[in-house]
Amino acid sequence: MASLIQWLYEHPSMRKFEWSSEQTPGSSPLFVATTVLLYLSLTSLLHLLMRTLKPPLKPLSLLIPIHNLSLSSLSLLLALSAALSARTHISLHSLSHAWLFCFPQSTKPQGPVFFWAYIFYLSKIYEFTDTLIIVLKKRPITFLHVYHHALVVVMCYLWLEQVQSLMVVALVTNGLVHTFMYSYYFLCSVGFAPKWKRAVTLAQILQFVFSFCASIVMLVMHFWIDEGCKGLGAWGFNAVFNASLLLLFLNFHEKQYNAHGEGEGKGKEKKSN
């Protein structure tokens, strides 16, 4: 464990990493806007095309398990790496664990913690593949699915651009939830449907509830500390986005389970942020 922590914190690519607006690949507002617009446009176009084309189900049957297993593994790696990097950062700089909830105004977006946040940001672009799979399988695309996938990229960009407090807490929480979620989808894709389908949706809902509890801690510290916490503007966007997702997921849960009973389809829960 000690050698792993040392590697995570001292590897040159991580230790020397620094998010620099307009210089780090993917760090410009134009890149984010273009990425989101392309995602929305291509999703609409492919959805129209697939009405007349037969989906390549045989290749998908091989690719989907690999896709889900890859994202499950990546999510776990990101959650653990971010947590260990944050722990080491706190120890080396003699910080209290309050740092996890409130970044000082002097915090710079550099080092291993922000390296993993950057990889997390890029992974959300890769997760657009979820939508492609749904389209190719000719399954309906919900507003919740597209809304989440489009705006989560903006959220992660703002984490880095404005050095948002609570970023590490959100990354670790989301990574663990996604590990659980994509593990479920992997098992479904190889022909084994676990009976904890509803638990996936509940985990996503609890994630948002937890984020609001963490936000209360951050806000108390922000007004308690003279200099306040870093990245409050990005946190505002994050809070509104999470609130909207919570409402959408509660509505989804009501329709999927309470109104009609446990859903019959395999792996149809929509991905959360």
pLDDT in tens, 187-239: 998 988 888 888 999 999 999 999 999 999 999 999 988 788 999 999 999 99
Q: What is the pLDDT of residues 120-143, one digit of tens each?
A: 999 999 999 999 988 888 888 899
Report the Cα–Cα distance between both ends of the chain, in Å, rounded.
29
pLDDT (tens digit per residue) in 258-267: 755 544 444 4
Provide the whole-model pTM: 0.89
Enumerate the active-site residues: 148
Q: What is the pLDDT of residues 33-89, one digit of tens each?
A: 999 999 999 999 988 887 776 655 566 778 899 999 999 999 999 999 999 999 988
pLDDT the model gives residue 86: 93
Domain ranges of the chain: 2-17+27-259
More confident residue, 8 or 15: 15
pLDDT of residue 268: 45
pLDDT at 266: 43
- Classify the phi-psi angles of 200: left when phi > 0, otherwise alpha if psi is within -120 to 50, otherwise beta: alpha
Residues 6+ apart with CB under 8 A from 257: 198, 201, 263
